[in-house]
Chain A
């Protein structure tokens, strides 16, 4: 769900979690910043590998590998900073009312802080018998029905955002790294690798019932090597859900009917995908793969275009919008941002410092916030 709120003199779209809202689609439908607008980059305390998120008042929340969560005001000033028990690789999430930001660490802690002052409300350790790390982007459920995280303990947990009390738990599979998505009705969707089976796409209803929509069988390398990092993405308007299933050395992209889980189509991809796909404004889905290609498909799964980013691989997912026509923006491991138009022609529109390994976010101010691993978050007025 993408919230709306008053920012400055207009009503703007607020990306409270990675990919904008609970559907993870990365489609910005708000008002873009004026081309002339620009600010200095935000400076985190360490490497940033998690998308930044925002609250209704335009604060930007940046979690980093130095174990710091910083809140920046719309003018770029740091409003507050909180020291966390560990480094952060998963995107935080802000509750729908904008009052609480929840963050998970590599040491397995989930913390909730007030967005206003960074005051800690609660902290909970996700149970594990082995490694505690949280790598999956956090999900703030629609209507504030909890916040969802997983750890390498192998479980998804839905916690009460106000108290941290566990509300429900589901199997998250082997080394979970993929964030859950949710639709407007409160159904959860998650991908998980299952021993001796493969990768499953699962719907968990609001009442907790699990339905496995599809299982992509494991290959010769078995399920433990099937990379599950990309979240499923939901196109509510088209009632579609898209999911990537990585195999040994390639992948499958599938479209599902959001209402009943029927598989609508299936497309082979020549390389695995780590990054969460994006939803272009003119429909369909865009994926960035580990061979350095961005590929677009229409809503029926037909290939539309592909774009060579000129890098060994792509780790960050695409975000989309309509700015001078339908466009896709994506960061690459050489620290650049590419703009790709509706027919697949693209160019580098920004060159930063070090690698960009996570998805960019649109701020309520209409700028594109691009985290880079040198600890800088570039705030771009995109064209």
Chain B
């Protein structure tokens, strides 16, 4: 296995903070696979660095969480992207799954995987396809609020390792990344370019000691981010052990709580081994902070492939914690792409929203448009006219979702 972004930081001070290669840079300079990606880089004057990335996005329709049906449709979509086989063949793949911070909840009695989290059938179908393309291993990760660091932590979300391995030739792994895990060190990953709020991230090495990073998200509205799909999914990467709400005044490998105070309210800095936030956040303004952290995470952890589960989900907001304002809905869509910004932009359009809408207008009504912000940093195109869309196409896939809740009247 190759190790990218080799920022080995012991329990103390990171060895080389601020001067290390990003994973994308590493791929560019060392991996032929990266060159095979169909990601175009287009010059654009308003963009930081002068260029912007673009890659096709594929849309599919699937009404049920039937393994064969999901695998067939997702397979067609990945084939349409044209590059996934070359991307994963003989590679170790890490899949960041959107599972959120409890498995004991539901939405009006409907299970999490039909409402809030990625359905295990979609994850299993994706894993099966990646193995079919020749992936050496596929590691499914999220930080989960359980002491267990392996498959036990995933059981409550419907993820059964034996089922996955039966469909994946025994090449599946489940890793709870709420802390350092089995690694002796964290990875220290610099945010390239001009960071918004985070200059670096200190995370479980599962997200960097890998060849390919996949974001497997759930299609939902999001109160602070506008929507959540592939990019917002990376919010689960910073571990509770350094960023969690249950920390007192130092890191704790036993921590398992959410990152509300560090990355939403911004009333406390994380306990990373060196300063990693630049202090430009606005206390308690989630609409200011969350979109900027999304962009900083995606700049530091470039996603090679995004897959979005939009078969059954909720509308108006992202989780049960927002009460009865959320309601189940059934778009019956799957979305995949090799550029996270392009893919999330198409996801927003599929929900009936303008992915280039101004800040503090719907669907980004409570804050900044993270997609437009990401484009200005050159991470990807968010304007639909500039994105090649394949599969069933946007007209067939579009499905009206209620936008998120507006906190205050304008």
Contact = CB atoms under 8 A, between A and B. Distances in A.
A and B bind: yes
Contacts of A130: 405-409
B12 to A, nearest CB: 44
Contacts of B407: 130-131
Interface in B215-248: none
Contact of A373 (B400, B406, B408): B400
Contacts of B408: 129-130
A357 B330 contact: yes
B332 interface: yes
Interface bin, chain A: 35 or more
Contacts of A65: 352, 400-401
Contacts of B329: 315, 355, 357
A246 interface: yes
B323 A224 contact: yes
B352 to A, nearest CB: 5
Interface string B160-183: 000000000000000000000000
B121 to A, nearest CB: 12
The majority secondary structure among interface residues of chain A is loop
Interface stretch (A8-16, A34-42, A91-99, A226-234): A226-234
B399 interface: yes
A313 B399 contact: no
B63 interface: yes
A315 B329 CA distance: 8
Contact of A313 (B325, B328, B352, B396): B328
A249 interface: yes
A129 B114 CA distance: 32
Contacts of A226: 324
Contacts of B61: 354
A354 B408 CA distance: 34
A205 to B, nearest CB: 27
Given A131-B406, A224-B324, A87 B400 contact: yes
A229 B405 CA distance: 17
A82 interface: no
B328 A290 contact: yes
A25 interface: no
B398 interface: yes
20 contacts: A46-B352, A65-B400, A87-B352, A106-B403, A129-B409, A152-B325, A175-B324, A177-B327, A193-B324, A226-B324, A227-B108, A249-B108, A272-B109, A274-B108, A291-B109, A313-B110, A333-B63, A354-B61, A354-B63, A373-B399
Given A130-B406, A373-B399, 19 more contacts: A49-B400, A64-B400, A87-B400, A87-B402, A128-B409, A129-B408, A130-B409, A132-B406, A133-B402, A224-B324, A227-B327, A229-B327, A249-B106, A290-B110, A312-B114, A312-B312, A315-B329, A315-B330, A374-B396
Interface of B: 61, 63-64, 106, 108-110, 114, 312, 320, 323-325, 327-332, 352, 396, 398-403, 405-409
